[in-house]
Amino acid sequence: MTHVRQSTILITGGASGIGKLMGRKCLQQGATRLLIWDINPIGLQDTAQELSASGYEVHTYQVNVGDIEQVKQTAEQVLAQFGAPNILINNAGIVVGKPFAEHSMAEIERTLQVNVLGVMAVTNAFLPDMLARGQGHVVNIASAAGLLPNPRMSVYAGSKWAVLGWSESLRLELEQAGHGMRVTTVTPSYIDTGMFAGVKAPLLTPILQPDTIADAILQAVEQNRIILRKPFIVHLLPLLRGILPTRVFDTVAGRWFGVYTSMNDFTGRPAAEQKPVNAT
């Protein structure tokens, strides 16, 4: 089993939202040190001061995970200082909620850089050293949006479908190679962090509370769970999409449960606060 206690934990997007919550909980559970990557310098400073004041060892790095060179350079710095983390949590992500025809190419490119290439680049930077050590756990925060289509979320959903496919493929590669590595993929629905402000919760799909999902993720890591789906109804999505004709599924998800209109009143964070943070 993976143990948070006496581990070095690295969390991207760790200066706010569930990233920050998971970091604090890891330290409270006895992690040796917490390495926080985030693009927001003020958030990094505030989080470091808050956690250090409680006597914890915290190191912060301002880095845009969508910038491959920044990822490489910062990873080299971390490896030189502490070696590879025992637990790597790929949490950073962004969302632009609007019809695809209204997206600019800059928005599309940035979303894919952060949500897809960023996750892969960070893992790629640390995985060789984790493999050489013969131990490690990679946690990828994907989304329930990677399990079904949703209007006004096409680019975000596409990025999360990519993360889900990559994460599960990575897990199988590592298992086949016999390395002492674990991969956990998390597919939560909307989380109440402000990232999805304005969304309407679909039927039987409550907006997840950050503290609750943070606890669930860390528990899943320590139990070496392969997939964590929250809330429970997310477990039904692969089954329903597999057995129902597409038009029938559209009726169930769109008309009965209200999934396809859940983003109609999406506002997200104010533009001034937009930054790569935890993704759901």
- The residues annotated as belonging to the active site are 156
H/E stretch holding 12 reads strand 8-12
Q: Could you give the CA distance from residue 39 to residue 252 in angstroms, rounded to a whole number?
A: 39
Q: H helices then E strands: how many in the chain?
A: 9, 9
Q: Residue type for 75, please?
A: A
Closest Cα partner for 193 from 60, 56, 92? 92
Say if residues 81 and 70 touch (Cβ distance below 8 Å).
Answer: no
Q: How many angstroms separate the most distant Cα atoms in the chain?
A: 56
In the DSSP assignment, the letter for residue 202 is P
Question: In Å, how far from its chain's centre is CA 112?
Answer: 14
> What is the end-to-end Cα distance of the chain in Å, rounded?
26
- Count Cβ neighbours within 10 Å for each residue of 158-179 and write b for 16 or more, e otherwise: bbbbbbbebbbebbeebeeeeb
Q: Between helices 210-222 and 17-28, what is the axis angle to 10°?
A: 50
